[in-house]
A and B are shown apart, each in its own frame.
Chain A
Amino acid sequence: MSVMDKDDAEVLEGLSSQLAMRTLPRLGTLYSALIAAAITAVIVVVTPAAGIAGSLVIWYLMYMLVQTVWSFRVEGRRFAVDRLATTLVWTAFLIALTALVWILVSVTIRGLSAFSWDFLTGTMRNVSPLREGGGLAHALVGTLLQVGMAAVIAVPLSILVAIYLVEYGRGKLATFVTFFVDVMTGVPSIVAGLFIYTFWVLTFGFERSGFAASLALTILMIPVIVRSTEEMLKIVPNDLREASYALGVPKWKTIVRIVIPTAFGGIVTGVMLSIARVAGETAPLLLTTFLSQSMNPNLFTGAQASVPTFIWDQISSGTPASIDRAWAGALVLIIVVVMFYALARLVAKLTAPARQ
């Protein structure tokens, strides 16, 4: 409005019409950055401020100040606030991205030194921590078996719970279930491990095994899948349920044939993310199956290795060769998780409801 309030002659000077307004030059952002750099240079020279990190912080604050003040003078308050907010959002995005890229790059670079075909196919049996070589085939098999079994138990259970909560649950029982799912979301993974250890191993006397580890992972997966499935079922429009009822289709068939297929892509994504999450768990596995240097394809007897416990073990050994193996193990774990995620995206895409 402030622009409109000015004298007509002044407003129209250099502008195409009454509706037009003054704006920063097209490269205003770049100019602001350069001016901020100049101010920063002066501050660093004149004052005791020094160092790259300090200079960057000063430059960033100056950049925001210069651009906001300039924009406020030329474009007005709304555009100045818009530019400031845009800058802050981009900053937050870049900080988050930096952490992610940093992890990926450093794990890839350090992990590649010990990474090879032999590393994927060999085990640590009779490999001294001091020697190079060895592999994590035993750990990879362990992780796939343990996480696979956890998924086999957790996925149907969680999806049924979510269906109950969204389609049937009313009153006290539903409130209770929701409450306990919330509580389970907050359970630290080591507590899940301890629970299975006391419940399965100490109370019932079963031996520690990969299966015990699967049970601990199940506890961690259930709340994640219940929550995501619940959200996906909730966004299925009620219109579709009613359309199905109006055809004389019973409720259970409506859920199985209409509601679940409509939400399928989202449910699969939630399941895959929960798998990716528990694939990196270490503490509950140490309590329930500990670790192993040899291949043990039997989920139900004896200690079984897994990729996270492999990494933990190699780091604990502390020799240069074993630390290289730990990094390579981390790389393998990231690749496995990324593969799961890519698979989830693919399935979600293939099963998504047809778009208009």
Chain B
Amino acid sequence: MAKRIDIKDLDIYYGDFKAVEGVNIAIEPKSVTAFIGPSGCGKSTVLRSINRMHEVIPGAYTDGEILLEGDNIYAPDVDPVNVRGTIGMVFQRPNPFPTMSIYDNVAAGLKLDRAKGKGKNLDDVVEKSLRGANLWEEVKDRLDRPGAGLSGGQQQRLCIARAIAVEPQVLLMDEPASALDPISTLAIEDLVHELKRNYTIVIVTHNMQQAARVSDTTAFFNLASIGQPGRLVESGPTETIFTSPVERATEDYISGRFG
């Protein structure tokens, strides 16, 4: 079910402002790719363009190709709604639906899309997804309680369960642990390790150790200078990037000597 992604000559705009320029990267299936870089370098923007969430912002658009197993998700006849059903996303701040119970939160994707939920036993999907997100044991006795009543770390795992319940091919994670304490962070990182057996995972993180711990491939983004668009400086196996990067900027950033 995991699929590969190839980003080709991707430029990303907010109205007239070019935020990201000339990104080329291949994202392997069943692996974890980490996007690192300073704030404002466009790594979250690139992530959001992979499931066409970028264009939700008025005036935002992209130029270039993103191929999901060879199919361009930006082809004119592609419906972004289908793209997002195939490429799931977990956000920086946990955002369970406040009006729904834990159960309904997990089942939301299937309940709101009848075609997808057709012929599926919702109870099984909910249990499987919650087990997949390492949350089942903690919430199995209170599935009817509101999802917003969980702790921050549990809410984030609930959001991951919600994302994997629709069985995406790819899972995008935008700083999924930055709002969490170290214990919840570890739980999320362990989960990422398990999830990569079934999914292609792209994770944006500000935490260098986290990138080193969870990812197979690391991509470093940076701004050429203030006001310039962000660009991909280099990418490669995480070990190489962290021990012997090609670019000077990468080494400076990773070793904490960044400007």
Contact = CB atoms under 8 A, between A and B. Distances in A.
Given A239-B91, A242-B53, A356-B148, A247 B109 contact: yes
Contacts of A354: 98-99, 145-149
B185 interface: no
Given A246-B51, A248-B86, A257 B112 contact: yes
B84 A245 contact: yes
Contacts of B56: 241-242, 245
B22 interface: no
B109 A248 contact: yes
Interface of A: 170, 237, 239-250, 253-254, 257-258, 261-262, 264, 353-356
Contacts, number: 87
Q: Which of A240, A244, A248, A356 has the most CB of B within 10 A?
A: A248
Contacts of B98: 240, 262, 353-354
Interface residues of B, number: 33
A352 to B, nearest CB: 9
17 contacts: A239-B95, A242-B56, A244-B108, A246-B88, A246-B89, A246-B163, A247-B84, A247-B85, A247-B112, A247-B162, A247-B166, A253-B113, A257-B112, A354-B98, A354-B145, A354-B148, A356-B149
Given A240-B98, A243-B97, A353-B146, 10 more contacts: A242-B95, A243-B162, A245-B53, A248-B83, A248-B113, A249-B112, A353-B98, A354-B98, A354-B145, A356-B149
B255 to A, nearest CB: 34
A76 to B, nearest CB: 41
Contact of A247 (B96, B108, B149): B108
Contacts of A243: 91, 95-97, 159, 162
A240 B95 contact: yes
B88 A247 contact: yes
Q: Which of A257, A262, A354 has the most CB of B within 10 A?
A: A354
B259 interface: no
A248 B108 CA distance: 10
A261 B91 CA distance: 21
Nearest to B114: A253
Interface in B102-155: 108-109, 112-113, 116, 145-149
Nearest to B93: A239
Contact of A248 (B97, B99, B116): B116
B70 interface: no
B76 interface: no
B256 interface: no
